[in-house]
Structure 1
Amino acid sequence: MTIPDPIGHFVEATNEGDTEAFLNTLKADASLTDWGRSFQGREQIARWNQSDNIGVQSRLRRVRIAAAEGSYRVRIAVTGNGFNGEGDMTFTLDGDRIASLVIA
Structure 2
Amino acid sequence: MTTALPAPVQTVIDAANKNDSDAFLDVFTQEGVVDDWGREFRGRAAIKDWSDKEFIGVHVSLKVTEVAERAGEWTVTATVGGDGFNGPSHFMFRVDGSQVARMTIRE
Question: Which one of 66, 77, 80 corresponds to residue 64 of structure 1?
Answer: 66
Question: Which one of 8, 25, 28 corresponds to residue 26 of structure 1?
Answer: 28
Cα distance between partner residues in 1 of 2:70 and 2:48: 27
2:11 is aligned to 9
Partner-residue secondary structure (3-state), 1:98: strand
Cα distance between partner residues in 1 of 2:36 and 2:7: 22
Structure 2: runs of 5 or more not aligned: none
**Residue 83 (structure 2) pairs with residue 86 (structure 1):** no
TM-score normalised to structure 2 length? 0.94
Cα distance between partner residues in 1 of 2:61 and 2:32: 22
Q: Number of paired residues? A: 104
TM-score normalised to structure 1 length? 0.96
Give runs of ≥4 in structure 1 deviating > 6 Å.
none
Give the alignment's Cα RMSD to 1 decimal: 0.7
